[in-house]
Amino acid sequence: MEGPVRTNFHLGEYELASFAAMKAVEVAVREASGLDNSLVGVPLMRAAFQPHKNGKAGGPLADAEAEGGEQEAASALFAGAMGAYKNPSSHRTVKFDDPVGAAEIIQFADLLLRQVERAKQRATKPEAGDL
């Protein structure tokens, strides 16, 4: 993520830097979840983080150990990030003239990327019975 984000930010291209940061989140979620390329943006986040309910398996990145409301919140957080910060720049020109606002979006994307990494670690962690 760092290359295009940092370069665009330093060039004052805050819209492109913010878009690149959120695109990195979308790509990381798709790769970590193994979901199809046909899912993008909000629907991808909802599928990847779909909460586990009534004994049914959730999305591949949902934390089965977390309380139901927390699972729902994680799904909403990722979907909201795509809807609020990636989609507008995907569909139209968005005026970004504030470096602080762009930096906040980039930092938020970095936080989301770290959460994706934790989800990947949970998914690859062997179960107690598998040892």
Token pair in block for residue 121: 């670690």
The pair of structure tokens assigned to 56 is 């049914």
**What's the confidence (pLDDT) of residue 1?**
67
Which tokens hold the place of 60?
């591949």
Quote the radius of gyration of the chain (alpha carbons, Å).
16
At residue 123, the pLDDT reads: 79
Whole-number pLDDT of residue 82: 96
Helix (H) or strand (E) holding 108: helix 99-124
Q: Are 35 and 45 in contact (CB under 8 A)?
A: no
Determine the pLDDT at residue 128.
53
Give the pLDDT confidence of 28-84 residue by residue, as tens digits: 999 999 999 999 999 999 999 999 988 788 999 999 999 999 999 999 999 999 999
> Quick check: 109 and 22 in contact, CB under 8 A?
yes
Task: Note the pLDDT of residue 5.
Answer: 96
Euclidean distance between CA atoms 15 and 98, whole angstroms: 10
DSSP state, residue 98: -
Confidence of residue 114 (pLDDT cuts 50, 70, 90): very high
